[in-house]
Amino acid sequence: MKKLVDLSHTLSPDMPTFPGDDNPEFHIDEDLIKKKIQVTTMRITTHLGTHIDCPSHLGDKEVYSEKMKLDSFYGCAIVIDVRNHIKENVINVELDDELLKYQYLLFYTGQSNFWNEEKYFNNYPYLDKKLVKRISNSNVKGIGIDTGNIDKIYDLSFPNHHLLLKNEKVIIENLTNLEDLINKEFILTAFPLKIKYGDGSPVRAVAFID
């Protein structure tokens, strides 16, 4: 039997958001509550909380989430502990050929420990461009990280995003609980909502391990 590990943050009205993004809004219809029916109206962005980025996110390709194959969001994965490979907030770790055989590479920085703190979005580690270029030229389907961005904050050129998205790699940001899976092989699922012209979506990222 498989064990399931939840890699997702909870969506809520008071959750942290990336600087400049709109705060989410959740409204429960009080009239329906009186009838013992609960219906919640949400106003959220497609890049809230644990979410994926698709190639259309930054205009690299008109490849939208609802048109992508389902197996783009599913695959054999491994968590790489990069805590000792961060210098001046830049993550630089060697990826050998064995690691690049995985369909998803997830990077554990420990930043998820600061979720709900100002430090989470303002002082996070991000991936070295050469590292990302190596991944973008491989057969890896996508990457994930326990930070809010794979690029340096306020770098609006988004070099790492463009490298991956132009090659139709999926990016998962704001993961959590990766420390439970370091160096373990597992099946990752991170299916997006089927949104027309979807540039991304919040996901319930889950690891299936033996």
- What residue ranges do the domains of the chain occupy? 3-16+45-209
- Per-residue model confidence (pLDDT) at position 59: 84
Percent share of the chain, pLDDT over 90: 88
What pLDDT is recorded for position 2? 83
Q: What angle do CA 92, 96, 101 make, to 5 degrees?
A: 115
Q: What is the pLDDT of residue 1?
A: 76
pLDDT in tens, 149-163: 999 998 999 999 999
Put simply, whether the predicted model's pTM sits higher than 0.85 gets the answer yes
With cut-offs at 50, 70 and 90, classify the pLDDT of residue 189. Answer: very high
Cα 202 to Cα 48: distance, rounded to the nearest angstrom: 6
CA diameter of the chain: 59
Q: Do residues 39 and 162 lie in contact, with contact meaning Cβ atoms separated by under 8 Å?
A: no
Give the residue-averaged pLDDT of 98-126: 96
> CB of 135 within 8 A of CB of 166?
no
pLDDT for position 32: 84
* Backbone φ and ψ of 208, nearest 5°: -105, 115
User: Class for domain 3-16+45-209, per CATH?
Assistant: alpha beta
- Residue 33 above 90 pLDDT? no
Mean pLDDT of 51-78: 93
